[in-house]
Amino acid sequence: MIQPPALDEAGLERALERLRRTVRQRGLKGSSVRDSIARAALLRRGHFSVDDLLKELRESGVVDAHPATVYRVLPLLVEAGLLQMTLVSKGDGARYERAFEREHHDHLICTRCGKVVEFEFEAIEVLQRDVAERFGFRLTGHVHELLGICKDCSAAGVEG
């Protein structure tokens, strides 16, 4: 697993300022609850679900965020480039991870147990750029997820 360095206070402030710019561009008002949700999401390590974040928010007592509020804030954090959404095909719904100030990487996702393996493979990056160029696209980003069955589930005889 490729763990990004933790955000320091200055990095967190840069991220929150980016969120505030996105909020202003969308014509929304500032919100301390939104900022608190963003702060908690940005400080999490690894991949997390909405339920994981809600549990943490409740346990920390920092903010009393309604689940609907968290569900509305997370796509805004993705739009602002602060989080990346990863689909997990195990019925668990979307998972998120910090995208702000971290290196790009791709994912292998086990469709049985939900295990996520992060990897970097330059040949895939080169191929994606070649494909985009061939079709006249200027890439602005991508999400690359390979779905399959991990070695633990394969060894346990779990069918996919």
Which residues are documented as binding site? 104, 106, 110, 113, 125, 142, 150, 153
Nearest-angstrom CA–CA distance, 5 and 8 = 9
Q: What angle do CA 74, 112, 102 make, to 5 degrees?
A: 40
Q: Coil, strand or helix: which one is 147?
A: strand
> Token pair for residue 22?
């996105």
Q: What is the DSSP letter of 119?
A: E
Q: Which residues are known binding-site members for Zn(2+)?
A: 110, 113, 150, 153
Q: Which residues are known binding-site members for Fe cation?
A: 104, 106, 125, 142
> Token pair for residue 15?
């991220």
Q: What angle do CA 17, 18, 20 make, to 5 degrees?
A: 60
